[in-house]
Amino acid sequence: MISINVYPLPSYAQDEDLTDSVAVVIDVLRATTVIVSAFAGGVKDVIPVLDIEQARQQKELLEKKYGKGSVLLGGERKGIPIAGFDLGNSPQHFTSEKIADKILILTTTNGTVALHAAKKARNLYVAGLVNAQAVVERLKNENKIAIFCAGTDGEITEEDLLLAGCLVSRLSRNFRQDQCQNQYQNQCRNQCRNQCQWNHHAETAKQLWENRFFIDNNESVSESGLIEFLYQSRGGKNLIMLGLEADIAVAAKIDSIDLVPEIHL
C-alpha cells in the first residue's frame, strides 16, 4: 500500500507521521524555488537555518574550514532581503556566476522552518513547480510520502497546496507505470490507484490542481495559467505588494529543472 499525506502547514504533522517516510517540502514563493534554482546553478550545498544569527555563525565556522569567500548568506524576513547578506530570496538572482561551487546558508520566514519541521524523515526533498516532474520521478517507487507545505506566517497558502495537488495527481496517475507493458497500462493504472491511500488534505489539493489544470481528464497546464493563479494567491499578493512580482514568473516555469535537491539536517 502506498501512502501519500499532505500537510497544509508543518504544524499539522506529528513526528510519527515521518517514521519511515520520505518528506517533500514546498514553499513555491519562494524558498524551495530558490533552493532548486541554486542547485541548478551549481551550488555545492544548501544549509537551511532558522535564524539570522545562526546563519552568520555558521558562515564563520565554514569559512574557517573551506576558506574565505566559500560561503554565501541568503534569505529574507517578511520578504525583504536581510541586511549584510549576499543574496535575498529571489530565485532569479541565484545564477551560476554568483553561486557555483559555493555553500549557501539560507534562512527564510517560512520555507526553512518547514524544512526543519520535516527533518526526521528518512529522506528530505525540496519541490517547486520548476522541478515538479523530477520530484514525481524521484518518488514514484516510494511507499510512504509526506508532503509539507510551508504556508505564510502560520496561514495556509494556495500556491503551496496547488503544487502539492500537482504531485498527488501525477503520482496517482503514474505510480510504477514504467513497470507496465503497454497493452496492460490502463488496467495497471487502475490497480495502482487502488493501492494508493492519501489523507483528505491530499484529496483537497489534488482537486485544486485538477479543477484548474485538467481538460477532459488530461492535464493541461501552462506557465501563463500558473502565473495567473500565483498572482491571486496569498504569497503572490505579498510579492506584488513588495514589488517582487518578477519572482512569480520564475517560480511558474513548471518542469523546467530536472533535479531534486536532498537536504541533510
Within 13 Å and on the Cβ side, how many CA atoms surround 38?
Answer: 32
Q: Does 116 reside within a domain?
A: yes
Question: How far is it, in rounded angstroms, from Cα 112 to Cα 27?
Answer: 9
Q: Does any domain span residue 259?
A: no
What is the pTM (predicted TM-score) of this model?
A: 0.93
pLDDT, position 183: 43
pLDDT of residue 2: 87
Q: Residue 16 domain-assigned? A: yes
Containing structural domain, residue 143: 2-251
In a domain, 64, yes or no: yes
Name the burial class of residue 59, with classes exposed (0-12), middle (13-18) and buried (19+) by CB atoms within 10 angstroms of its CB: buried
Distance CA 50, CA 14 (A): 19
Establish if 264 belongs to a structural domain.
Answer: no
46 has which bridge partners? 104
Q: What order do you get walking across the sheet with 123-127 strand by strand?
A: 123-127, 22-26, 144-149, 2-7, 196-198
Average pLDDT, the chain: 93
Q: Read off the pLDDT of residues 205-231 as tens digits, 9 standing for 90 and up.
A: 999 999 999 999 899 999 999 999 999
What is the predicted pLDDT for the residue at 234? 95
Omega before residue 30 within 30° of 0, cis: yes
- Residue 113 in any domain: the answer is yes
Q: Which residue, among 67, 71, 153, 143, has the nearest Cα to 111 in the 3D structure?
A: 153
Q: How far apart are CA 166 and CA 74, in angstroms?
A: 28
Q: Is residue 262 part of a domain?
A: no
Report the distance separating Cα 91 and Cα 129, nearest Å: 12
Decide if 111 is inside a domain.
yes
pLDDT at position 193: 52
Q: How far is CA 150 from the centre of its chain?
A: 9
Look up cell 519511515; give the residue. 20
What amino acid occupies position 160?
A: D
Contact in structure between 87 and 31 (CB atoms under 8 Å):
no
pLDDT of residue 196: 76
* Count of structural domains within the chain: 1
Share of the chain above pLDDT 70, in %: 92
Domain harbouring 169, CATH code: 3.90.1560.10
Ranges of residues in the chain with a pLDDT under 50 are 176-185, 187-189
Residue 1: per-residue pLDDT? 74
Rounded CA separation 174/188 (Å): 10
Rounded CA gap, 44 and 39, in Å? 7
Q: What would the DSSP string read from start to end of 72-111?
A: EEEEEETTEEPTT-SB-S-GGG--HHHHTT-EEEEE-SSH
